[in-house]
Amino acid sequence: MAIQWYPGHMTSARKKAAETMASTDVVIEVLDARLPEASTNPIVRELRLHRQRPCLKVLNKSDLADPEVTKAWLAYYNQQPGVKAVAISSKSHTEVARLPKLCQSLAPHRNDNTKQLRMMIMGIPNVGKSTLMNALVKRKIAKVGDEPAVTKSQQIHQISVRHSIVDTPGLMWPKIEYPSDGLMLAASHAVGRNAIIDEEVAVFLAGLLLARYPALLAARYGFPVEGLDGVAVVEGVARRRGLIMRGGEPDFEKASIVLLQDYRDGKLGRVSLETPETRRVMLASSTAIREPDAEVESHE
């Protein structure tokens, strides 16, 4: 299943973001710590590189992610020029309070009292930007919800006399290139329900958890997972939760929703859906698949 989700308001949001980038000193890009690269919007990278703006990559929801994997991602991003990375939970005001100072280190020319440091917060829907904004400004200025695309327009706020920040709507991109990225985003509730089939996403998630976190699956649902595939795991969840239809068949749809919600709520434990190494392997595999097609085209 190829997942694509690009609501109409995002076209105007992209145009407005490009305009605002011209007067921005530092971009704060909020990522989901459980899938940092899959939740990286290529439009954000394109806009900030065009304007040569430094970036603070905030790996949010780090309290839900595998801490060892998060360390690997921080090392990966901190090697990139013009980039600084930090892992936080936007629910922690202490962790959020560190961000303006980190942004200041990326824009030393603004490290005085003459001009404000102008920050711009960007990211895909439902990565916790609104919670982060409320913590930064220390009052409720952004609507928080468990649905993607809650924020619909830009807003500018003063954090202090030296710092201002522009909040932007969650922004997707028109075409998700890699199917696994779309499935990871869907599992993490970054795309609208109308763009996904819960059962297919749950089977993908179950297969990934079997490969990397089988003990967490077994502990959460109370059945052995050795030798199972994703479908069998979802069926097992249905039986353990008493989600049985007439005739004794497991209710696959309801069990899929249970598994997805347990992952989203952190009830499975601290889970990361990708690592720098799995990302490298996936990209290499995708390149290898595309190359034969390019070769055939060149002989036509």
**40 and 141 inside one domain:** yes
The answer to whether 5 and 195 have CB atoms below 8 angstroms apart is yes
CA distance 241 to 255: 8
Average pLDDT, the chain: 88
Q: Which residue has the tokens 């407005």?
A: 16
Supply the pLDDT for residue 9. 58
Pick the last residue of a domain from 127, 148, 167: 167
Residue 2 covered by a domain: no
pLDDT confidence bin for 173, thresholds 50/70/90: confident
Residue identified by tokens 């990522």 is: 31
- Above 70 in pLDDT, residue 134? yes
Asked whether residue 36 falls in the same domain as residue 124, the answer is yes
For the residues 69-95, what does the mean pLDDT come to? 96
Return the pLDDT at 300: 31
| Residues 27, 148 share a domain | yes
Domain count, the chain: 2
Distance CA 226, CA 248 (A): 24
Q: Is the pLDDT of residue 298 over 50?
A: no
pLDDT band at 154 (very low <50, low <70, confident <90, very high): confident
Alpha helices (H) along 160-246: 179-187, 198-212, 214-221, 230-240
CB 199 within 8 A of CB 252: yes
Q: What's the Rg (C-alpha) of the chain?
A: 21
188 inside domain = no
For residues 58-81, average pLDDT: 97
Task: Indicate whether 230 belongs to any domain.
Answer: yes
Range 237-261 average pLDDT: 96
Phi, psi of 85 (to 5 degrees): -125, 145
Domain containing 57 equals 9-167
| Predicted confidence band of residue 195 (pLDDT cuts 50, 70, 90) | low
Question: Does residue 70 fall inside a structural domain?
Answer: yes
Name the one residue in this structure whose structure tokens are 């991109």. Answer: 173
User: What pLDDT does residue 138 have?
Assistant: 84
In a domain, 1, yes or no: no
Share of the chain above pLDDT 90, in %: 63
Q: Report the CATH number that the domain containing residue 85 is assigned in CATH.
A: 3.40.50.300
Is the pLDDT score of 71 beyond 60? yes
| pLDDT tops 60 at residue 156 | yes
Same domain? 32 vs 93: yes
pLDDT tens digit sequence for 251-286: 999 999 999 999 999 999 999 999 999 999 999 988
Residue 238 has pLDDT above 50, yes or no: yes
What pTM was computed for the model?
0.87
Range 97-122 burial, b when 16+ CB lie within 10 A, else e: eebbeebbebbeebeeeeebbbbbbb
Q: What is the CATH number of the domain that holds 282?
A: 1.10.1580.10
CA–CA dist 265, 53 (Å, integer):
34
- E strand residue ranges, the chain: 26-32, 55-60, 83-87, 117-123, 155-158, 163-167
